[in-house]
Structure 1
Amino acid sequence: MTDLIRHFLRGEGRDGQGRRLAEVLAFDDARLEAVHDFIQWLFPLPDPSQAVPGSPVLGAAEAAAIRADPRAQAGLRAALERMAGFYAATDHWLVRHDHNHRRITRIIAAARDLLDRDEAAAFHAAISARNAEAGGVIDPVSLRYWERALA
């Protein structure tokens, strides 16, 4: 079946666990941290997830359909806003190594490819500012991944 990710982002379809977009966006911060199988649906990429095998992989046709679909765009923007809020409100990821650093790379890359570079750059700037406020604790390798995801 095609367009599974687009239908999910439109709020019409369900992810691999049967959740709708609104349900995922309503997760509290603790649940966003604890659950690991939603980020691939919110921020799809053309490469398979290393963290969650079997997660959706974004094809070129579906990516184009998402870019052309105002409702899917709105869902993606809502996801970007929710995750920006999560990273603004929590501190546990502000350490040298954390699984959230991979999530951040994914978010930046998906926002760049499916929304636009300016929205990805704004998210990147907010995350980078949080790291700077924390004393620049995140491993430089992760920071380089974020920069490359933005390029």
Structure 2
Amino acid sequence: MNHKKQLTAMLVPFYLGEQQDSGGRTIQKMWTWNFEELECTHDYIQWLFPLPEPSAFNPNAPIIDEDVIQAFQSNPHLRQNLLRSFIVMLQFYGLQRHKSNDGKIFVSQSEDYPNRKCEWVCMFDHNYLRITRILKCLITFGLENEAQAFYECLRQRQL
């Protein structure tokens, strides 16, 4: 099995908490990282939010295929863990996810937003690439409502 296929095969077990990523880290450990670790570590985002195309920045990033997409779309535990990864990143950006009584998802600024925005709301910041990756991954794996809510929050220019 070639290296790229090995990385792809590692993704579902990684997301289920059964295997480490190519850097020897577990998803549970990544969920506990502080904001500095999330900002300064650059090779984890492709594991938390994998895509079907190769990363231009991380040669050890998994590339998802139809089997991985089907696994996420059919396994509620995988989607729940993806949601947890999303919430971790929202906190990093100073945002928060809400669910209304009728089930609609919203993303809005958190109390910590004024402190967090200085880390990423600026021209040419690498976090914009991360946000694009997050949105694409959420849509691909079946969390379209979260992606739409996140996009609407960003689009409102209240950031």
Same fold (TM over 0.5): yes
Task: Quote how far apart the aligned CAs of 1:72 are.
Answer: 1.2
Name stretches of at least 5 consecutive residues in structure 2 with no aligned partner.
1-5, 95-112
Residue number in structure 1 paired with 2:88: 82
- C-alpha contact (below 8 Å) 1:14/1:20 kept by paired residues: yes
Q: Which residue of 2 aligns with 1:70?
A: 76
Deviations 1:121-143, CA, capped at 9 Å, x for gaps: 112223344xx234xxxxxxxxx
> What's the counterpart of residue 13 of structure 1?
19
Q: Any idea what the Cα deviations from partners look like across 1:61-83, whole Å, max 9, x if unmatched?
A: 11111221222111101001110
Give the drift of 1:115. 2.5
Q: Secondary structure at the match of 1:3?
A: helix
Deviates more, 1:4-13 or 1:31-40: 4-13
Residue number among 42, 47, 70 corresponding to 1:41 in the alignment: 47
**Pairwise CA distance, 1:11:** 1.4
In structure 2, the CA distance between the partners of 1:127 and 1:84, relative to structure 1 (3 Å rule), is: farther
CA distance in 2, matches of 1:49, 1:43: 11
The one of 123, 130, 138 equivalent to 1:96 is 123
Structure 1 length-normalised TM: 0.81
Matched, 1:22 2:28: yes
- Which of the numbers 21, 32, 35 marks the counterpart of 2:38? 32
Identify which of 53, 58, 67 aligns with 2:64: 58
Structure number having the greater helix percentage? 1
Q: Distance in 2 between matches of 1:123 and 1:105?
A: 11
Shift of 1:54: 2.5
Structure number having the greater strand percentage: 2
Q: Give distance in 1, aligned partners of 2:131 and 2:37.
A: 17
Where does residue 133 of structure 1 map in the other structure?
A: 158
| Higher mean displacement: 115-124 or 42-51 | 115-124
Secondary structure at 2:86 match in 1: helix
C-alpha deviations, 1:78-124, integer Å up to 9, x for none? 00111011111412210111000000000000001102321111122
1:117-128 superposed matches below 5 A: 117-128=144-155
Partner of 2:103: none
CA contact (8 A) 2:17 2:27 kept: yes
Aligned-residue identity in percent: 32
Shift of 1:20: 0.8
